[in-house]
Amino acid sequence: FRVISTKPMPGTKWIETLVSVGCRVEICQAAKTILTEDDIEELIGNRCDGVIGQLTENWGERLFSALARAGGKAYSNMAVGYNNVDVEAATRHGISVGNTPGVLTETTAELAAALTMATARRVVEADDFMRAGKYEGWLPSLFVGNLLKGQTVGIIGAGRIGSAYARMMVEGFKMNLIYYDLYQSTRLERYITAYGHFLESQGEKPVTWKRAATPDEVLKEADVISLHPVLDKTTYHLINAQRLATMKKAAILINASRGPVVDEVALVEHLKANPQFRAGLDVFEDEPYMKPGLKDLPNAVVVPHIASASKWTREGMAMLAASNVAFRLKGCPVWSNPNAVDPFLDEVAPPP
Ligand code: GLV
Ligand code: GLV
């Protein structure tokens, strides 16, 4: 089998995984950061069995038909999010699609927590100030920020990452939780309840949780809001000008999900008009660009989509992406792969 990875990936275990099932692995070494569809079509060529691709690539009808023409059967994103993949197009061409959940849950939640602390305590602004030689001595009013303890943390999207972040903030800072998700997260609720009992047993005030009926309820009540939904039609611009206006004046908004969940132009306006409001952003609407004005705002902390960037996690993501492709090329039924995004592919297009 000929398998392509559109980017070099960390570690070597992922390569061994593919080699062990009889694959020859080709790693694209192109110097440019982002490959175009032309570049990828050229890589696929006229014989390619599987591809590991990246979230920066647009995997739609064009690339899946090129892959199918080359005899391809498997595609895996090296990411948990797969809004860059047209799964239906892949299915039409009999190509399986996998993602890489689990290994990045805690790493991503930790970065969201880092952004929360950095924005709440103005760490980046203060660092800039220090390096600029502006520190002339301790002052009662210097870089006064927000205390997290006892405040309410809100999450929109209580899946793996959202729940991990909620636990970190509740346990780490004794914050109360309000969450919105289509599905009730009894596991998260039980965890917070048990932690509340523990605090009570220590003679401390217990933490509380509440499941909100709407995202608006979270935005109105929380002091810190972190966004953890998948990006789809229902979450595009979930945070817009109207909703920003309902948030507390000194609220903190964290986004380590996908950029288009937030109307970034509206956010820039809101940050300008409300200097006490802060945002911590790992993702942007038009990566790698930021909307005009964002980079000049001291009340925003911005990092370049690094939420899953720990060594252990990135090696794990590469392993899972390779396993997704190996699974399929070995002839295992797609439904038996827990990281298949299209577990019913076999019913639609049985392998020859
Ligand atoms: C990263 O953004 C991912 O979806 O894994
Ligand atoms: C601050 O540094 C304090 O000692 O209160």
DSSP annotation of 57? S
Q: Give tens-digit pLDDT for 202-246.
A: 999 999 999 999 999 999 999 999 999 999 999 999 999 999 999
Model confidence at 310: pLDDT above 70: yes
Atom number in ligand 1 closest to CA 258: 2
pLDDT recorded at residue 225: 98
Mean pLDDT, the chain, integer: 96
**81 CB near ligand 1 (under 6 Å):** yes
Model confidence at 351: pLDDT above 60: no
Q: What is the pTM of this model?
A: 0.95
**79 CB near ligand 1 (under 6 Å):** yes
pLDDT recorded at residue 335: 86
Question: Of all protein residues, whose CA lies closest to atom 4 belonging to ligand 1?
Answer: 81
Angle in degrees, CA 166, 144, 283, rounded to 5: 45
Contact 329, 1 (CB under 8 A): yes
Model confidence at 102: pLDDT above 90: yes
Lowest mean pLDDT among 62-66, 254-258, 298-302, 330-334: 330-334
**80 CB near ligand 1 (under 6 Å):** yes
pLDDT recorded at residue 347: 61
Cis amide bond preceding 288, omega within 30:
yes
Question: Of all protein residues, whose CA lies closest to atom 5 belonging to ligand 1?
Answer: 79
Q: Which residues contact 131 (CB under 8 A, 6 or more apart)?
A: none
Q: For a substitution probing ligand 1, which of 7, 52, 54, 55 has the most ligand atoms within 8 Å of its CB?
A: 55
Ligand nearest to the CA of 140: 2
| Percent of the chain surpassing pLDDT 90 | 96
Q: Give tens-digit pLDDT for 29-61.
A: 999 999 999 999 999 999 999 999 999 999 999
> Predicted ipTM?
0.72
Q: Say how many Å lie between the CA of residue 308 and the centre of ligand 1.
A: 7
Q: Say how many Å lie between the CA of residue 139 and the centre of ligand 2.
A: 10
Give start-end residues of each CATH 3.40.50.720 domain in the chain: 2-103+310-348, 105-302
Ligand nearest to the CA of 83: 1
Query: Which long-range CB contacts under 8 A does 209-215 form with residues at least 24 apart?
Result: 209/170, 209/176, 209/177, 209/178, 209/179, 210/176, 210/177, 210/178, 210/179, 211/178, 211/179, 211/180, 211/181, 211/184, 211/185, 212/154, 212/178, 212/179, 212/180, 213/180, 214/180, 215/156, 215/180, 215/243
Contact 95, 75 (CB under 8 A): yes
Q: Look up the CATH number of domain 2-103+310-348.
A: 3.40.50.720
Catalytic residues: 258, 287, 305
Q: Say how many Å lie between the CA of residue 133 and the centre of ligand 2.
A: 21
Q: Which fold has domain 105-302?
A: Rossmann fold (3.40.50)
Q: Say how many Å lie between the CA of residue 178 and the centre of ligand 1.
A: 24
Atom number in ligand 1 closest to CA 99: 5
pLDDT recorded at residue 345: 78
Question: Of all protein residues, whose CA lies closest to atom 1 belonging to ligand 1?
Answer: 79
| C-beta neighbour count of 165 within 10 angstroms | 27
Mean pLDDT, residues 4-23: 97
Contact 224, 151 (CB under 8 A): yes
Which stretches of 58-161 are assigned E, i.e. beta strand? 74-77, 96-98, 152-156
**78 CB near ligand 1 (under 6 Å):** no
Model confidence at 346: pLDDT above 90: no
Rg, C-alpha atoms of the chain: 22
Sign of CA dihedral 212, 213, 215, 219: negative
Cα-to-chain-centroid distance, residue 195: 26
**85 CB near ligand 1 (under 6 Å):** no
Judged by DSSP in three states, 139 sits in: coil
Q: Say how many Å lie between the CA of residue 104 and the centre of ligand 1.
A: 8
Q: Give tens-digit pLDDT for 117-171.
A: 999 999 999 999 999 999 999 999 999 999 999 999 999 999 999 999 999 999 9
| Percent of the chain surpassing pLDDT 70 | 98
Beta-strand relationship, 209-211 and 176-180: parallel
Q: Which residues contact 88 (CB under 8 A, 6 or more apart)?
A: none
